[in-house]
């Protein structure tokens, strides 16, 4: 990558988060891997593979002319629907097993929806003020994909897809009154799904009153808080966490932020939070500078995709949200999240490169006009 033509902040922050992920996946998984995989490096070696595949995906997304994606967004939506239906028919749950990497279909659907909304909202801007032609077609795709993901079942990923989709629509010229009705519908449907599922209801109850079932439903939340509290200001030291020794479940995946807080303390956890907020700042800045509306919607959606997952993961670890099972982008162990997040960053860098080229061409045109005007004035003065 030519760092003079891309947003270096985004590029280096993502490299930093990947490095933190490699370091912390080993620390959080070594005991677990040694006991159950008989190889304390098992998850570390696989995380290196995910980082390699993620980096390769990022480079491909960076080099691919992203404007060409506009004519294919409908195809991506259809592919996502087919994969979601396939996972339901085969009862594969939320995953498609390829033999090399397990792909979470919800991740593909979310990225496809971002691309689709960016293209559709930019093409149909003259119809967006209409309920039938502007709002309904877009919310239909959001709810369709979310419904298929809920059926897998994967309520957390479906909720994130709805939040991201509605937020992208919210920044468009669609009238705000339409969102009020959709908010009521979405909240009602979400509450119904939770009420009909004993598992989801228990999760909500465990979130509200974890102390009532310390060794059962509230166990994971309480262990996460113990992990964060044990770290204090500067942490207990790298690889010195006691909670990862079979006390905190999913220590190298969903709750890796808790281990960061324990080993690196408040300072280390604050650094990770700061990196994600700098990523948000650069993404919003890129959104404002993007050369066209498609690029603006796309940059905003991709940035939101990364930051929403990061915030939810960290808030779950701090007992600010119920457990969701969502990973911390670039840091948690896992291949599906790493590849989709890397593609998102590759597209962001692609947009920043294109933005830089547009600005450079504008400056060149301005410079040429200024030079021509100066030559004309100079010739007029000589005459």
In the prediction, which pLDDT does 363 show?
A: 41
- Give the alpha-carbon dihedral of 251, 315, 189, 97, to 10 degrees: -30
Q: Quote the CA–CA distance of 368 and 158 in Å, as a whole number.
A: 52
pLDDT at residue 376, rounded to an integer: 60
Per-residue pLDDT reduced to its tens digit, 211-256: 877 887 888 899 999 999 999 999 999 989 999 888 988 899 999 9
pLDDT score for 215: 80
Residues 265, 228: Cα–Cα separation, whole Å: 7
Q: Tokens representing 254?
A: 């969903």
pLDDT lower than 70: segments of the chain: 1-4, 92-93, 98-100, 356-383
Interior angle at CA 140, CA 136 and CA 144, nearest 5 = 175
Scanning the structure block, which residue is given the tokens 């190889």?
A: 39
Closest CA to 243 of 267, 226, 222: 226
In contact, 81 and 144? CB cutoff 8 Å: yes
Closest CA to 316 of 249, 230, 381: 249
Task: Give me the DSSP letters along 72-136.
Answer: GHHHHHHHHHHHHHHHHHTT-TTEEE-SS-EEEHHHHHHHHHHHHHHHHHHHSTTTTT-IIIIIH
Spatial separation of the C-alpha atoms in residues 339 and 330, rounded to whole Å: 9
Give pLDDT, residue 266: 95
Tell me which residue of 114, 187, 159, 128 sits closest to 343, measured CA to CA: 114
Count Cβ atoms below 10 Å from residue 126 Cβ, excluding itself.
10
What does the DSSP 8-state code read for residue 66?
G
Residue 270, pLDDT score: 96
What are the residues whose beta carbons fall under 8 Å from the beta carbon of 2, sequence distance 6 or more?
353
DSSP, residue by residue, 34-57: HHHTS-TTHHHHHHHHHHHHHHHH
């Amino acid at each position: 990558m030519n760092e003079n033509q891309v947003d270096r902040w985004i590029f280096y922050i993502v490299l930093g988060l990947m490095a933190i992920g490699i370091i912390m996946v080993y620390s959080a998984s070594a005991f677990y891997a040694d006991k159950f995989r008989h190889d304390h490096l098992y998850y570390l070696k696989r995380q290196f593979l995910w980082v390699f595949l993620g980096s390769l995906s990022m480079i491909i997304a960076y080099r691919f002319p992203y404007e060409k994606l506009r004519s294919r967004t409908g195809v991506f939506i259809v592919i996502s629907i087919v994969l979601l239906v396939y996972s339901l028919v085969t009862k594969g749950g939320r995953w498609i097993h390829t033999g090399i990497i397990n792909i979470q279909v919800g991740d593909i659907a979310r990225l496809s929806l971002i691309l689709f909304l960016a293209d559709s909202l930019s093409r149909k801007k003259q119809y967006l003020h209409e309920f039938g032609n502007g709002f309904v077609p877009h919310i239909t795709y959001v709810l369709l994909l979310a419904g298929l993901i809920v059926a897998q079942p994967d309520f957390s990923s479906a909720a994130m897809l709805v939040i991201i989709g509605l937020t992208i629509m919210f920044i468009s010229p669609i009238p705000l009154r339409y969102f009020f009705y959709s908010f009521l519908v979405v909240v009602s449907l979400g509450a119904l799904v939770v009420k009909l599922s004993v598992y989801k209801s228990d999760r909500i109850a465990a979130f509200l009153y974890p102390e009532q079932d310390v060794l059962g439903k509230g166990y994971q939340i309480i262990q996460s808080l113990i992990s964060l509290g044990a770290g204090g200001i500067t942490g207990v030291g790298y690889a010195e966490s006691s909670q990862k020794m079979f006390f905190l479940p999913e220590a190298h995946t969903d709750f890796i932020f808790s281990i960061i807080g324990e080993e690196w303390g408040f300072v280390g956890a604050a650094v990770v939070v700061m990196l994600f907020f700098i990523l948000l700042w650069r993404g919003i800045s890129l959104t404002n500078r993007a050369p066209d509306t498609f690029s603006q919607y796309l940059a905003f959606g991709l940035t939101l995709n990364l930051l929403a997952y990061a915030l939810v993961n960290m808030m779950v670890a701090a007992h600010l949200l119920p457990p969701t099972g969502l990973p911390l982008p670039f840091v948690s162990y896992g291949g599906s999240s790493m590849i989709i997040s890397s593609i998102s960053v590759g597209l962001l860098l692609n947009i920043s490169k294109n933005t830089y080229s547009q600005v450079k061409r504008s400056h060149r045109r301005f410079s040429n006009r200024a030079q021509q005007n100066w030559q004309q004035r100079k010739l007029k003065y000589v005459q």
